[in-house]
Structure 1
Amino acid sequence: MSNFKLNESDILSNQDWTFPTNIAYGAGRLKEIGTICNNLNIKNPLIVTDKGSPKLPFISNLQSYLSDSNVKSDLFFDISPNPREDEVSVGCKKFKDGNHDAIIAIGGGSAMDGGKLICLTANNDVPLRNFEFELTPPIISKDNPFPKIITIPTTAGTGAETEITAMVTYLKEGMKFCMWHPDVRPSLALIDPELTIGLPANLTAWTGVDALIHAIEGYCVPGFNPLCDGAALEGLSLISKSLVTAVEQPDSILARGGMHVGSCLAGISFLKGLGNVHSISHVVGAEYNTHHGLTNAIVLPVVLRFNLPGMEEKVQRMSEAMQYKDHSVDAFIKNMEDLLDRVKIPKSLSELNVPEDSAARIAEKAMKDQAYGQNPKKVSFEEMKEMVLQSIKKAR
């Protein structure tokens, strides 16, 4: 029997939980996209992807599957690795000019965020800024609903395919903001592990560790949500069995499938929230245009050393899910550092050209990030600045 007891305030209080959306999983299921559109009465979708993807085979395959089912489509690919508000405006214009009735967002997290951001403002005149997570969601008339959106991830990383939130970079402030509306829920998330087979080893590692961090941070956020926590622990279990193999044996559909499902579950787990790995990473990404998963991966050990002492029960559950033997806090952090070494994650943000003299500014902005308020421990400015400095100089 466990020494850990039920939390009375959790179990004896009222709770409201939702689960995100319909998910179609399986190798080769991209071929079903035409039938899926017909079933959803989608006749002319705008395909949204990122700047690096228009010439990749999954785009031409997607377009030919659509045309085989008599579904018209057009392509918008002017989305940066950290999507910007000006790009969203251009995408909205393309959506309107083409009389599109839906969005198919395909690619990594930036492509899916781009698709969701266009979705928020394509059918209305509400400024994008009004959809900020902290604000009361704008009232959207039922006569003029958001377009339907289908999400198709091609990396096992962000988990953005089931979420109703999207990150956008505002260049003027040099900050990322989280946008959402409760009614922008993907009609379907299509998860086909064959789409990740061609992903290079470094991107497989960066996106895979991003998924790992979503599960860790989502699980460590306070609050009683057994749907999210169950998803986090099963996500950790699948990721721990799949990540190294996916990086080192990239053609393994088994490892790719394990990562794809693990990433999806990790994405669901952070409906609860995230923490200071993300609050720091969001600012670094906005200022220095770094890869989100890679930035997260470098920062992870620094934040774990701050957060995990005193969270022994959660650490034990995560450690058990990942099949480790020693479930102490120190052992868990060491295991994470060993995993980062194994998949060749750099040891400091300075290797991404983030300068030491930016630490105070990054810390200050990170404390304004939404994830800061969800971190399991309160962090002062001095502590945050020290974590940023450690991440820049030597994170592990």
Structure 2
Amino acid sequence: MNGTPSTALPLRGDWLFPTEIRFGAGRVSELRALCDRFGMKRPLIVTDRGLAATPLAERVLAAADGPGIAPRFFTGLQENPTGGNIAEGVAAFRAWNADGVVALGGGSGLDGGKTIALMAGAGGSLWRFAWPDHAAAQSERAGVPIIAIPTTAGTGAEVEPSAIITDERGPTKRAVLHPAMLPKAVIADPELTVTLPRGLTAATGMDALSHNLEALCVPSFHPMADAIAASGIAMIGRWLPVALAEPQNLTARGYMMAAAIMGATAFGKGLGAMHALSHAIGALKGCHHGLTNAVLMPFVLAYNRPAIEPAMMSLAEILRLEGEAFPAVHRWILDLRRRIGIPETVAGLGLAPSEFDRVARLAAADICADMNPVPVDAASLKSILEAAA
């Protein structure tokens, strides 16, 4: 398997898994019809400050605007959205008398938009929906309609009923979960990713790889997730270098967007220490999540090796790698990182050894830590950071 179907088909389709997805170039033009279908006459388009300053934002606004529909932007999200950002967004939703949310962007715009929609319908404290205290709130009727429009090929947040939001009191990144956070529909239009800068294309692509890879390594029986994850890994290995070399290549951009959706679908099975550490580093340092995952990836794999040999044997076969499976996959990842310019150590993230203890303690309390194939605690997580120094 090389990540490409054996027959050449147009990269366009309508999917109903895990939610309604309209996939294909130019499909952002269908936004107004979707707003009308979901009764969204005054949608709030939620995005981050950086994306709001680009022509993409105006293109999406134009796609939503029309007779009987009056969209408005909320652009107050940081790169790593905070509880304060969410409160401001809910206030903007109510001031506009909005009736739905269009979540636009990468992870920040998508997670922020979904969480604003949740709280616009639910009210009260955001953190009652945050792991590990979320169980009692899951039965609450909450949320307003959400349409998700990704502009990167990384997080896959467009197909998740959850979000990662920074609690400024720590600071810590917390997982916010509720069924109403799953978007009613997704517009996955690879045209919206062609202007993504090279560095963000690389980092978000490696984020998609981390989702597929960690999901594959989680030691639980889930053959559907495993098949999706393995295919997603092969797809990224084939098409991420092409997307970087040829930014306007819609085939490469389309396959990367599909692989990101696949990763988020697969990690319903679980994640692991890569994400636990990345969440902690992101909360403290503000680093890009995908870049952080990319830096940590080979070191977490090495720590997990005793428990993931069978998964690596399957993956090496799919990737057509020669030699012993784990070293071959490990080399494949290191080579991909070098080719696309990922820093080799956590020093490239601005993380100093004096910060390892604090990061490890935060990571040990993260939702993803308990899913890791090899048990982790603060001491073992610190050892991974030391290996990555």
Normalized against structure 1, the TM-score is what?
0.91
Secondary structure at the counterpart of residue 309 of structure 1: helix
Residue 39 of structure 1: aligned partner: 37
Residue 275 of structure 1: aligned partner: 272
The 5-angstrom pairing of residues 1-396 of structure 1 reads 20-134=18-132, 135-138=134-137, 142=141, 145-326=142-323, 328-391=325-388, 393=389
- Taking the aligned partners of 2:126 and 2:385, their CA distance within structure 1 comes to 30
Contact 1:320 1:327 in 2 (8 A): no
- Taking the aligned partners of 2:298 and 2:199, their CA distance within structure 1 comes to 19
Q: CA deviation at 1:37?
A: 1.3
Q: CA deviation at 1:67?
A: 1.6
Q: CA deviation at 1:365?
A: 1.1
**1:353 partner letter:** G
RMSD: 1.6
Secondary structure at the counterpart of residue 186 of structure 1: coil
Is the deviation greater in 132-141 or in 376-385?
132-141
**1:354 partner letter:** L
**1:340 partner letter:** R
Aligned pair in 2 of structure 1 residues 112, 212: CA closer, same or farther (>3 Å)? same
Contact 1:146 1:184 in 2 (8 A): yes
- Taking the aligned partners of 1:34 and 1:224, their CA distance within structure 2 comes to 41
Q: CA deviation at 1:55?
A: 2.0
Identity over aligned residues, as a percent?
35
Contact 2:115 2:181 in 1 (8 A): no
Aligned pair in 2 of structure 1 residues 352, 310: CA closer, same or farther (>3 Å)? closer
Q: CA deviation at 1:126?
A: 2.8
Secondary structure at the counterpart of residue 278 of structure 1: helix
**2:87 partner letter:** S
Q: CA deviation at 1:152?
A: 0.7
- The alignment of Structure 1 onto Structure 2 pairs a total of residues equal to 373
**1:339 partner letter:** L
- Taking the aligned partners of 2:226 and 2:333, their CA distance within structure 1 comes to 19
Secondary structure at the counterpart of residue 198 of structure 1: coil
Contact 1:236 1:321 in 2 (8 A): no
Structure that is richer in helix per residue: 2
Aligned pair in 2 of structure 1 residues 226, 49: CA closer, same or farther (>3 Å)? same
Q: CA deviation at 1:244?
A: 0.7
Q: CA deviation at 1:19?
A: 5.2
Contact 2:307 2:373 in 1 (8 A): no
Contact 2:90 2:119 in 1 (8 A): yes
Contact 1:237 1:323 in 2 (8 A): no
Measured against aligned partners, the alpha-carbon deviations of 1:218-272 in whole angstroms (never above 9, x if no partner) come to 1111222233222212211211210111111111111101100011101111111
Q: CA deviation at 1:283?
A: 0.5
